[in-house]
Structure 1
């Protein structure tokens, strides 16, 4: 483990964005609405290579049977499964409104069902959803079709159904195997069940199995998390997503049930991250970046080696130039040089669709400067380096002149051992990967005079 000083911990124990986009979603404005989104869709349709560019689809299914105290997702807690069929009808309306603007049969190479709990839908409802998507889009052979799975909601028979429906990637929400931690966050799921499901997924031929973990949860210690790391190493999923818990009880009501005194401090969280990096590297995983690990032959690791890695609202992605259409309540999309987000409440989402409107209520048309800074930030987040020449060629600027102030700040970070500046670019050090969000924040113009960063999670 690289030596991480108390000074560094203190300096970076501050809130900051995760940069699943730039500008970040908190910068979206209500001045961008349905009309602006429709314009972006029609520009895609009429563009010279529109039909040749595949789409990515994200479908948000908000329902959960029980509340996990750490959760910051847009969700509806209910045991009434009869609510899912009407929601499916609204998703169908939303897709039909999109097809009116972009045309039917557009190629889709990436599909992700998130939530909430997508497996809240019954097998028949999931089948109807996939049939509806196939009627309207061309899900190309060899695409990545994934679904988030709560291990408490499925068995091998359900996984077999998912495979038959065309899903080839699964993501299991594990968070932590320690029973004490599970009790503290109100998510009890025996380790044996997860092992059985992953084994079943392999028998059924799923191409990739991801496991989500969270460090920084109540009752966690570096030692207890070591045990979870050892169990995950034995489980050996194709991908691992390791997230830092974002404790923002003022924004997310469920988190008020978590006792703040039970949360590990910054030094313990850094220890968990450091031990995770060491453990997963030891057992053969590639550190894709910030919060993702993958086995060397997984598509994410291959994209990292080939310089094709990208970061979007679902985390790291293999599809850097893909427009993303978000479907469902609160879903976020990216079409052309715009971001958009649907209504966050189910009532507003349904009401807009009832009146024939696309349910976009906020978004952003990105500027030239936004695109430039997004390229720099994503290069740091995905590759751990920025090459001046490639940025200059793509955006027609002189990097050192344009970012003179930012480079001066980075010289201070270089003195702390976080980055290395050279004549050709910027490169993160081994220690710098721990603080990559802090390094990326240097290029975020929206944060320069911002005094409300507390809305973000802590970097560490």
Structure 2
């Protein structure tokens, strides 16, 4: 039955790591507004930090991240100088009574940094922000960058979670996406970080890649399971060559069609659940004792620009070129171009060039969409309690959608709008029903399955 619904629910929609989504940010939000929002953070509030390193020493053709290829370290040195300047300026605006509960180093490839630069960067963060003693420190890792000195530096900065992109171990698939990474090498990375006391390891798997078959994906999943990671993310490859030109290097005729993508997704998910992992939201899996699984069972699961998280911070501060921040008042994004970012950071320290200030309607719909993405349901009573003056708008939309939908993807149960088991693979498309910006046509998105 589900495969019969693919044509209707596999259209291009956002991934909903934010609402409103980034295409709707505008230049009316700049550095002055951002400074005000930072100064509003204060005692009793937790903050997360995201640090973006927009460089790689190889360019993976499947990647949709904001990054650039470099074989020289000089550009990274110049970038780090600007990043340190931004850290000092932003940290100076945030009340010291606001505590950092989580730090995420993303990219690009943060593990390209020299060991001494990793340590200096964390030292700068600790100098300019107040940290909780139990703050989570997660790092996206490229196994091809790593050596003993970098492993030791990651241990020195207090890394608590290692995140490894695997994608697929099949050599033909790896060649087609320009990501050569053997299973043996990846296993060595997992063993090295665990030997240094890192007890949480996350692995990313992609389906929908060129030349990928059910058999190659099954082999990759078996290899990943042998590493016993604490979390596994199962993402569908987002083919967006109009936005990321290097994706034109991928032969489109080698990409699996939507029905095969759907079968790959379901088979990989089935294997992970059979191995004892709990399904988290639409694309994550975790061991039952993992914090993410516990947060999911307790209804505390959240969603932000890093995907699913148990981080309950009041604000996410993005540092580095193109980084996006989420504050109680709205979203901000830093200058994406690294050269311009560096000029702004070394000048005034702040680098925000666009964003959006949230209305009550935005907050209400953001809550609805996050609830659907995290819990596959939202409560009318909760909505009325939080947004008493405007909740009936969304409730009426929910009732109308259920009444007009004959596919069995959603239902009304105990004053809740719920996505059914049939509808769960199409959660992004169902969440899009409540997106009041989507009809404006801004932005192009990847397919929903």
Same-fold call, TM > 0.5?
yes
The aligned counterpart of 2:359 is 367
Shift of 1:406: 3.8
Shift of 1:445: 0.6
SS of 2:362's equivalent in the other structure is helix
Q: Aligned match of 1:324 in 300, 316, 319?
A: 316
SS of 1:403's equivalent in the other structure is helix
TM-score normalised according to structure 1 size: 0.94
Q: Aligned match of 1:270 in 262, 267, 271?
A: 262
Unaligned runs of 5+ in 1: 45-49
SS of 1:440's equivalent in the other structure is helix
What do the CA deviations read for 1:262-302 (whole angstroms, capped 9, x no partner)? 10000111111111221111001111111211111111111
Matches within 5 A, 1:394-405: 394-397=386-389, 399=391, 402-405=394-397
The aligned counterpart of 1:24 is 21
Shift of 1:87: 1.5
Q: Equivalents in 1 of 2:59, 2:393: separation in Å?
A: 50
Shift of 1:309: 0.8
Q: Are residues 1:204 and 2:196 paired?
A: yes
TM-score normalised according to structure 2 size: 0.96
Give yes or no for contact 1:155–1:197 (8 Å, CA) kept in 2: no
Q: Are residues 1:421 and 2:400 paired?
A: no
Q: Are residues 1:186 and 2:175 paired?
A: no
Q: Equivalents in 2 of 1:20, 1:310: separation in Å?
A: 10
Unaligned runs of 5+ in 2: none
Change in Cα spacing, 1:78 to 1:402, as seen in structure 2 (3 Å) is closer
Give yes or no for contact 1:16–1:438 (8 Å, CA) kept in 2: yes
Q: Equivalents in 2 of 1:159, 1:299: separation in Å?
A: 24
Shift of 1:198: 1.1
Give yes or no for contact 2:50–2:316 (8 Å, CA) kept in 1: yes
Q: Equivalents in 2 of 1:410, 1:203: separation in Å?
A: 52
Q: Equivalents in 2 of 1:206, 1:411: separation in Å?
A: 50
Q: Equivalents in 2 of 1:412, 1:215: separation in Å?
A: 32
Shift of 1:451: 3.9
Q: Are residues 1:446 and 2:444 paired?
A: no
Give yes or no for contact 2:380–2:395 (8 Å, CA) kept in 1: no
Give yes or no for contact 1:239–1:294 (8 Å, CA) kept in 2: yes
Give yes or no for contact 1:105–1:136 (8 Å, CA) kept in 2: no
- Structure 1 range deviating more: 138-147 or 116-125: 138-147
Q: Aligned match of 2:211 in 198, 204, 219?
A: 219
Q: Are residues 1:4 and 2:2 paired?
A: yes
Give yes or no for contact 2:56–2:68 (8 Å, CA) kept in 1: yes
Q: Equivalents in 2 of 1:358, 1:352: separation in Å?
A: 7
Q: Equivalents in 1 of 2:399, 2:108: separation in Å?
A: 41
The aligned counterpart of 1:252 is 244
Matches within 5 A, 1:23-422: 23-44=20-41, 50-104=42-96, 106-397=98-389, 399=391, 402-413=394-405, 415-422=406-413
- Structure 1 range deviating more: 389-398 or 192-201: 389-398
SS of 2:43's equivalent in the other structure is helix
Q: Equivalents in 1 of 2:248, 2:100: separation in Å?
A: 40
Give yes or no for contact 1:411–1:421 (8 Å, CA) kept in 2: no
Q: Equivalents in 1 of 2:428, 2:201: separation in Å?
A: 26
RMSD over aligned Cα atoms:
1.6
- Alignment length (residue pairs): 449
Change in Cα spacing, 1:405 to 1:388, as seen in structure 2 (3 Å) is closer
Q: Equivalents in 2 of 1:430, 1:233: separation in Å?
A: 25
Shift of 1:202: 2.2
Give yes or no for contact 2:61–2:250 (8 Å, CA) kept in 1: yes
